[in-house]
Structure 1
Amino acid sequence: MTAHFPPGGRSPATSDRASGGDRSAGPWTGRAISRRAFLDGVTTAAACAAFASPTGPASAGTPPGPAGDPGGPSPSPGDGTRPGHGRARPHPAALQGLRGDTPDATGVARALHDGRFWERVDAPRPPGESYDLVVVGAGISGVTAAYTWVRRHPGARVLILDGHDDIGGHARRTEFHPAGRAGPLVAHGGARALYAPSAWPPQARELLADLGAEPGRLRAHAEPGLYPGLGMHEGVFCDRETYGAGADRLVTLRPGRSTAEWVAELPIAAQAGRDLVMLYDDPPDWFPGLSGEDKKRRLAGLSYTGFLREVCRVHPDAVAFCRTMPTATRAHGADALGAIDAWAAADRHAYPGFAGLGPAGSAPSPRDPARAAGRRAGDDAEVPCLPEGPQSLVRAMVGRMVPGFAGTTALEDITTTWFDYGALDRPSNRVRVRLSSPVVLVRNDGDPHSAASATVGYFDGHQVRTVRAGAVIMACWAAAIPHMVRDLPAAQRDAMRQAVRMPVVCATAQLRAWHAFREAGVHRVRFTGAFWAAAELAPPIGAGSYRFPRRPDEPITVHLVHAPAPPGMAPAQAAEAGRRALALTPYAALEFTVREQLARLLGPFGFDAARDVEGLTVNRWGHGYAREHARPWDASAPGAPLPADTARRRFGRIAMAGADTAPGGDAGAAVSAAHRAVRDLSDAAPA
């Protein structure tokens, strides 16, 4: 097969949109299409055109000069690129526009999934490199696996491959460079905190200690009293999407307000108001006379929405008020949240209605999902993790493994140090990280029971290159693994296909100032049914020399979350429907909804979207938050093996990591899966 394509793997419509390149050249007609885009066929070409936004903001992370101009002045240490490396392009965190699962990052994987990839490429080239370990996936689990391997085997040669152009997976750093600010304004672009780290397995807690990220040290960087000290609290925006035309209304949840007081401000029916007061203040024991285990058996068959409707029998307006409560952290609403999980997480401000049942932790049950067990075992629900979130942990690990990547790996300074992405894949490195390199094949070299090595193939934008590996760890989305490891046992393939990841979109907008939030008296708002489910000002965290904006006249970031999964469906079906809807949503629409929804929320308090939104990055994740095996949707008997137990089995020299195999939806699950994969390979080391 012969074809002529330009160097690199970018599709033209997203290349300059993502990098802040010059968009003044007019339409894309006549420009060459990269082979990667070609491989994804007409679908990707259409998606690329849809996601391009010629009117969107230019990259705020680009050094002064023409947007994306590699001939601009040398960057300073404050903008995240290595000093002395003049005329460098900004690193990935500084890129704006559409990020995350862009057509560039996912086109090859989609063609592989659809069976079109191997029809359009030449045969893989013979292995040209050899490594002791190859890791597929540069997210938290993959980087932790590599880091753990190197600590066990000093001097080992390791290669990490990923189809995206940045490390961290869904743990993304986003940064902006507002005029007049010394240094970048840093925010998270996805995962933002650590969930119940005190309940993590010992090896995972040891990793946090090794990186200097113990919960106590992380909390010391946060200033939770900043916003309340300015009279800013949480709020709920009752939107017209939920309650009809004219219903847009912001209700603040200030401490000290009685439930009846703020419920009276909601645009809901009188009976719904009475029902909400009852749910929050005085719910009965809905199952009198039953033991804790019997209560959990009843709840295991219900979603939280089902519990409100069928057990509590509250007014539909009250159900609608509660529907988006879990959306920001789980990428789905209350109708896909198990009632037993909601009981475990219940407190006065989350999932009301359970107080009469007694404490969920009083009777451990095999029906409890992993998050419920973690909440019961841990004494910390959520621990802030620096301005960029858990990607700080990933950068620290990569900095320790790859010489020249980071100016320092001290966690207190990781936010403001320089990073040299050009150092990631130097031939002299023992550990190399190769981005924009989607893996397309993984196979044992011979019988899996006796193989001493494996072969890994990745697409470099032109052809499939292969490398030899003494061992392989698959730290990617579990449901994609059968398309790469073609000879997996049937039972393992089926188990992997049951891994459900909920689609999610995380938008980070840089605001000129935040007077309007202060005037509104809120710093975090949940929407009952609008496009974006939550909007939250950046958590007040400062580490090392990083200065968090403390005055409302300073630039700041606001984070918004959209869950495309439609309500009223089981999670697996909702996830698939949400991905289809997301694929048809152009970047311009995402940008418009950010501006429009912030204007609806803050317009009465002096906010002007055209004036106040100075930058925007949208991280789109078609396969976003890993979902746990949970009732009522996953009906295996208590104590029976879960699909993940089968999915994570070692296959010859190939071990499985990733949060899907835990299963769990947080960093703790990803780290634990990485440790297990390394252990599986070490226990089965060839003679």
Structure 2
Amino acid sequence: MTAHFPLGDDLPGRRARELGMDRPISRRDFLDGVATAVTCAAVPAPSPPARTLPRARPPAESQESRHPASAQGLRGDTPDAVAVPHALRDGRFWRHAGTPEPTGERYDLVVVGAGISGVTAAYTWTRRHPGARVLVLDNHDDIGGQARRNEFHPAGRRGPLVAHGGSGALYAPRAWSPEGRELLAELGVVPGRQHDTGLYPGLGMHEAVFCDRETFGRDRLVVLRPGRATAEWAAELPIAERARQDLVMLFDHAPDWFPGLPDDHKKRLLAGLTYQGFLRDVCRVHPDAVRFCQTMPSATWAYGADALGALDAWALSGPFAYPGFAGLGLAAEPSPYNSPRVAERRASGQADVYCFPEGNQALVRMMVGRMVPGFAADPSMEHITTTAFDHAALDRAGNRVRVRLSSPVVLVRNDGPPGTATGATVGYFDGARVRTVRAGGVVMACWHSVIPYVVDDLPAAQKEAMRRAVRMPVVHATAQLRDWRAWRDAGVHRVRFTGAYWAGAELAAPVSLGAYRCPATPGEPITAHLVHTPATPGTAPGDAAVAGRRALAGTPYGALEFGVREQLARLLGPWGFDPARDVEGLTVNRWGHGFSPAYARPWDAFHPGGPAPAETARRRFGRIAIAGSDAVPGADADAAVSAACRAVRDLEAPS
């Protein structure tokens, strides 16, 4: 899907002004246009509306804006963050980099990547080796990787509004690995009690589906109130009458599509289908019903029903989600053919758990606060959201643990043959030249697709396995809103779109923690979260990710902002929402390499018997161990944690 946003008229400039594109937003960072074109020269130019949008002049930098979480505009995988990895990939970097210069620094451990996995590796190492010297390097300007914190400072509120910019919740923590549960216990994290699940329903606000004109030719909001009969809400959908009847059948009285077959045989048949294929070829429902279900998995999986396996859809089915399986009479136990993530969630009976307003970056800050003196005044769970942070402390000379940001790693090599090496050399680009440090061991906790360009002498089979770790691109937009009266009047707090650019929009999860209080009345400022999944429909997830990432790279920030405003206006305009007045801030976190998808049928024929590519990719190579969620693989925080703990054990084991 391209970044073309329907304007509804022939005057994009006037439409942009109506949406408030010409009005200043505090601390807006217009990192688009030229910068994007430099790193993506081969990508076609954006659509004309995106080029003609007026732009506000960025305000003077304030003390507050120098903190990464407070910066707005384009964040995440910005051109600055990915320029060096792309240059390595394209074979351009070393033609201009010059000879690496040693810094003279020596560490017991160097970690490549300051996301959840990298920081967990550093934290685990320091717990097992007190007094060790550790350096963590990352190409981004903030810690956490995709676990990103966004802050907004609306007038009249005491303290900032805090939101997440990627990894927002703990995925079924009861199903976490022993290492993951041990880490949560060590940090004092008690999942669940912070989330006020009754706030929005108590105000008459529920989940909804927005049948958009991109899919059905016109816009229609349909509220899915609990207990509402399927036939009642289906009658409001702008779809063919037969499609309405088919949806009622799928939700309320689906038959046994495979009569007479045993349970394991039925599950094997589902394992060979996508959910879209199940609806189309087995249930034979009207195409409108298939289109209605297409984006059901998008916000969680970063792809649609055309890529989600039917067996996983069955395991996740429930009210208003993945209908059509009730008549099969399947045993509740997950199948070996289910993806591991889905099987664990079904076995635990637990959904996502919101613990922190900033999402899972809180875990990273809690660990870094315990390792780096002066970074966090109070790294406890209760105070991590509101405590004072000093980012200047991250790389302070004299600290045993240092975190060096905006420092993309460009080389890692064993000091001698891998079988006998006792140390390694790590090189990073500091913006002007390549600097090297020495390490007793290295944990690679970055994207696996980058490692073959950094660890040049890896075995060919290991490099090939790493290149097969294709991540799903995803974009998270967080808008600061003046209030949320329009949401209350519309009766919604979370909305799925059936085919518009942004696949979902929801108000911030009502999480209060320590001194932080979530907005509790509709007249207060709040944040709204939107998600876009660029994967191109109709192909295997890996191919869809590559095509979607290419389209995303050519989409400037102005087009993304326009889309947020335009889509919120379509959703909430009938209830008085005015984006020119009500959108007071915006941060767009672009993750070209976002979710690390778990192995799943029907795409991964080796699953569950193996061997899996990750088994080869994560092999220790001399004094270099492999972490990152790609090493599991999995898109949740527990995958990152368990991969980090495995890498630490690998380095500690004899050669």
- How high is the TM-score relative to the length of structure 2? 0.92
Q: For residue 28 of structure 1, report the CA deviation from its aligned partner.
A: 11
Match of 1:201 in 2: 177
Relative to 1, partners in 2 of residues 1:220 and 1:167: Cα closer, same or farther, differing over 3 Å?
same
Select the residue among 423, 427, 431 that pairs with 1:453.
423
Tell me whether 1:323 sits opposite 2:294 in the alignment: yes
Letter of the structure 2 residue corresponding to residue 586 of structure 1:
P
Match of 1:585 in 2: 555
* Correspondences of 1:6-155 after superposition (within 5 Å): 20=27, 55=55, 67-70=60-63, 90-155=66-131
In 2, Cα distance between the equivalents of 1:249 and 1:38? Answer: 37
Local SS of the residue matching 1:465: strand
Query: Which range moved further: 659-668 or 590-599?
Result: 659-668
In 1, Cα distance between the equivalents of 2:179 and 2:25? Answer: 37
Local SS of the residue matching 2:493: strand
In 2, Cα distance between the equivalents of 1:51 and 1:200? Answer: 46
Relative to 1, partners in 2 of residues 1:22 and 1:213: Cα closer, same or farther, differing over 3 Å?
closer
* Correspondences of 1:231-630 after superposition (within 5 Å): 231-244=204-217, 247-359=218-330, 361-362=332-333, 364-630=334-600
Local SS of the residue matching 1:468: strand
Local SS of the residue matching 2:585: strand
Select the residue among 628, 631, 645 that pairs with 1:658.
628
Q: For residue 127 of structure 1, report the CA deviation from its aligned partner.
A: 4.9
In 2, Cα distance between the equivalents of 1:319 and 1:608? Answer: 33
Match of 2:189 in 1: 213
Match of 1:62 in 2: none
Q: Is the 8 A contact 1:57 1:616 kept in 2?
A: no
Q: Is the 8 A contact 2:316 2:346 kept in 1?
A: no
List gaps (5 residues or longer) in structure 2. 1-23
Q: For residue 256 of structure 1, report the CA deviation from its aligned partner.
A: 1.8
Letter of the structure 2 residue corresponding to residue 225 of structure 1:
G
Q: For residue 643 of structure 1, report the CA deviation from its aligned partner.
A: 0.6
Q: Is the 8 A contact 1:567 1:574 kept in 2?
A: yes
Q: For residue 384 of structure 1, report the CA deviation from its aligned partner.
A: 0.6
Local SS of the residue matching 1:266: coil
Select the residue among 660, 668, 673 that pairs with 2:643.
673
Q: Is the 8 A contact 2:428 2:434 kept in 1?
A: yes
Q: Deviations over 1:146-184 (max 9, x none)?
A: 000000000000000000000111011101000111100
Letter of the structure 2 residue corresponding to residue 174 of structure 1:
N
Q: For residue 454 of structure 1, report the CA deviation from its aligned partner.
A: 0.6
In 1, Cα distance between the equivalents of 2:203 and 2:627? Answer: 44
In 2, Cα distance between the equivalents of 1:143 and 1:527? Answer: 35
Match of 1:222 in 2: 195
In 2, Cα distance between the equivalents of 1:650 and 1:360? Answer: 40
In 1, Cα distance between the equivalents of 2:454 and 2:131? Answer: 28
Percent identity (aligned): 69
Q: Is the 8 A contact 2:152 2:480 kept in 1?
A: yes
Local SS of the residue matching 2:519: coil
In 1, Cα distance between the equivalents of 2:555 and 2:642? Answer: 35
In 2, Cα distance between the equivalents of 1:28 and 1:573? Answer: 26
Relative to 1, partners in 2 of residues 1:108 and 1:19: Cα closer, same or farther, differing over 3 Å?
farther
Q: Is the 8 A contact 2:74 2:557 kept in 1?
A: yes
Relative to 1, partners in 2 of residues 1:54 and 1:105: Cα closer, same or farther, differing over 3 Å?
farther
Q: For residue 197 of structure 1, report the CA deviation from its aligned partner.
A: 1.1
Local SS of the residue matching 1:470: strand
Relative to 1, partners in 2 of residues 1:369 and 1:681: Cα closer, same or farther, differing over 3 Å?
same
Q: For residue 19 of structure 1, report the CA deviation from its aligned partner.
A: 10
In 2, Cα distance between the equivalents of 1:101 and 1:52? Answer: 24
Letter of the structure 2 residue corresponding to residue 226 of structure 1:
L
Q: Is the 8 A contact 1:39 1:108 kept in 2?
A: no
Local SS of the residue matching 1:289: coil
- How high is the TM-score relative to the length of structure 1? 0.88
Q: For residue 196 of structure 1, report the CA deviation from its aligned partner.
A: 1.2
Match of 2:150 in 1: 174
Q: Deviations over 1:86-114 (max 9, x none)?
A: xx753100000000000000000000011
Q: For residue 641 of structure 1, report the CA deviation from its aligned partner.
A: 1.2
Relative to 1, partners in 2 of residues 1:22 and 1:344: Cα closer, same or farther, differing over 3 Å?
closer
Relative to 1, partners in 2 of residues 1:419 and 1:19: Cα closer, same or farther, differing over 3 Å?
farther
Q: For residue 637 of structure 1, report the CA deviation from its aligned partner.
A: 5.4
Q: Is the 8 A contact 2:411 2:426 kept in 1?
A: yes
Q: For residue 347 of structure 1, report the CA deviation from its aligned partner.
A: 1.2
Letter of the structure 2 residue corresponding to residue 239 of structure 1:
D
Q: Deviations over 1:565-601 (max 9, x none)?
A: 1111111111011011001111000000000000000
In 2, Cα distance between the equivalents of 1:18 and 1:140? Answer: 31
In 2, Cα distance between the equivalents of 1:613 and 1:57? Answer: 17
Q: For residue 56 of structure 1, report the CA deviation from its aligned partner.
A: 5.0
Local SS of the residue matching 2:96: coil
Q: For residue 356 of structure 1, report the CA deviation from its aligned partner.
A: 1.6
Q: For residue 443 of structure 1, report the CA deviation from its aligned partner.
A: 0.7
In 2, Cα distance between the equivalents of 1:601 and 1:18? Answer: 22
In 1, Cα distance between the equivalents of 2:367 and 2:125? Answer: 12
Query: Which range moved further: 636-645 or 428-437?
Result: 636-645
Q: Deviations over 1:265-285 (max 9, x none)?
A: 000101100110111111112
Local SS of the residue matching 1:168: coil
In 2, Cα distance between the equivalents of 1:602 and 1:337? Answer: 30
Q: Deviations over 1:528-575 (max 9, x none)?
A: 000000000000011011111111111000000001111111111110
Higher RCO, 1 vs 2 (CA within 8 Å, ≥6 residues apart):
2
Query: Which range moved further: 378-387 or 539-548?
Result: 378-387
Letter of the structure 2 residue corresponding to residue 377 of structure 1:
A
Q: Deviations over 1:386-432 (max 9, x none)?
A: 10001011000000000000010111111111110000001111000
Relative to 1, partners in 2 of residues 1:259 and 1:300: Cα closer, same or farther, differing over 3 Å?
same
Q: For residue 358 of structure 1, report the CA deviation from its aligned partner.
A: 2.9
In 1, Cα distance between the equivalents of 2:370 and 2:280? Answer: 52
